Structure 1
Amino acid sequence: MEKALRLLRDDLAAVEEHFTKSMHSETALINQVGQYLLASGGKRVRPMLLLLCARLSGYQGEDHIPLASVVEFIHTATLLHDDVVDKATLRRGNPSANVVWGNQASVLAGDYLFAKSFSMIVESGNLPVFKTLSEAVTSLAEGEMQQLVNSSDLDLKEQSYLEIVGKKTAALFAASCRCGALLVDDGPQAETLHQFGTELGLAFQLIDDALDYVAVEAEFGKTPGHDLAEGKVTLPLIHALRKATDVDRQRIIAVIGHTELPAADLAEVLLIIEQTGGIAYCWQQAEELCRRAKERLNAFADGAEKDALLELADYMVARRY
């Protein structure tokens, strides 16, 4: 994503500065958690999408900076809550906030970020933006709840899982892209970019699904096999279960949802997933979604912003962490 980083260098620096200032609170603990999260880095994919889509749509003002900060606030809030729900211990290679400060502080810091986000959106005075982000946050919550309901459900169908992913991950990607366009006009271009973001967000999550099984912990930033231990039935496992023998299926049933997952058990399930083509299938589906997303950009004139978005889309499915 070198093109995006070069093109957005000044904008991203302004977003980081705005993020830091907006995070400030009279409550010291909120500042500590905020600084810790900022220091831990992150790809800033959602802000980049918003910034690039605003430029692609011809936006010339400055409102894209605080708005890009807002989508990162929302994303960060979901990470804080997710780590508590998932009992995660690592985030981006560092101890997660719930490990450092406890579940209560993490949940409340996430609440603060959500509240601050909507305060900042109201300040923008852009009703379509407010509506888009409100709907996205509602979808995020619904998707996470549906995933919880379907925990360890080995009969979960691929389409049902994609609907969950569409809410819990792709909704904020789509909203980020649409909001960039909404700074100019609430018309066909905004809808096209919303569809682009949806497909890209789905692809992004499917890559995460695959990486959870095969990535190196030091690179991926979290423990391999965490989804399996949490009872999350993701696409590699869904495909494997379709192809598995009865014996292999029973082996998966015996392992899924065990919080303490021995390395030997994880290795055995991974072997089943690999032998049934679960990882390869997940990559293929992500690549197809990325291809469809990139085709959406045919509606826009060629230029640096379009090139950067195309490169960013390729990066999302080529990444290995």
Structure 2
Amino acid sequence: MEAGNLLSFAVGLAAGYLGIQRFRADDLSGKTVLITGGSKGLGFVLARDFARMGCPVAICARDEEELDIARRRLEDEDAQVVTGVCDVADQAQVDRFVGEVAEAFGPVDILVNNAGIIQVGPVENLDVDDFEMAMDTMFWGVLHPTRAVLPQMLARGEGRIVNITSIGGKVSVPHLLPYCCAKFAAVGFSEGLRAEMAGRGVDIITIAPGLMRTGSHVNALFKGKRDEEFTWFSMGAGLPMISMNVERAARRIIAATKRGSAERVLSAPAKLLSWFHGLLPGTTTKMMGAINRLVLPSADGAHQRAEPGSEVYDTLDDDARSLLDTFAALGQKATEQFQNLSRRR
């Protein structure tokens, strides 16, 4: 085949593929979407945006009051929504909620495994319980909902499972070890399951966000020198250019869901870090080590309970609060919009 004909063939093939992708991407209206951890943050924004597309949405979380407020906010936009108090670490609770969703809307077409927990602190101040809690929520909390919906999806020959993992599931970060361990496990499960589902009509989509402005720092759990840990984490989660707007992230996740994409790494810094780590993993580890030594707080030898960010913030002095209000203003705004829903009236 001549070079010109070969080029034309390649262009035509690419155009045809994109056309198929666009065709697949056009029709999610009416599909039943179940989102774990859907009462706040990214999960709530995803529920709202799927509902605006005409999808019945089901959200679950562990806090009944936050779920009730999330439901009312969605219903204010004429969404079809059901909610349920559910601990995704418990298969029985997950199975029960999936059954309730099926009674209300029919079988789940799209599952978004979004529930998460963030624990921040040096390894010396962490307990085994911290790692178990992270795995319960972000690995078993992915496996259990997937097992609950997958048989019906396979029987119908169609369905999509969206696993919200993290750049922390590709590059492990100091002072976030429980989170990273659980996210690495979720990435491995998600990628392997996609391979097993190939050709069977069920798309498994791995989403790996970088830092997002969801206001999650107020609900993260802190150990060690809590005030210093809270300060660095809050600033990183709220700075522009470093962190990503949650509504923009939600749009990209929905676009990937429409197309049945294999994977999406969200934000340019996260993509760069993932690429660099894949190319030079030893150098990345050395860089993380330098950050740990030079930037992050040292361990506090005292045994202590984990404290949520909202409580840590209340103990900060005026200078520390002023610093956060200046350099993490976008994160604070996200907190008002997408967190602490139980405080909104």
TM-score of Structure 1 vs Structure 2, range by shorter chain: 0.3 to 0.5
Which of the pair has more CA radius of gyration? Answer: 2
Higher strand share: 2
Normalised TM-score (structure 2) = 0.32
Normalised TM-score (structure 1) = 0.33
Higher helix share: 1
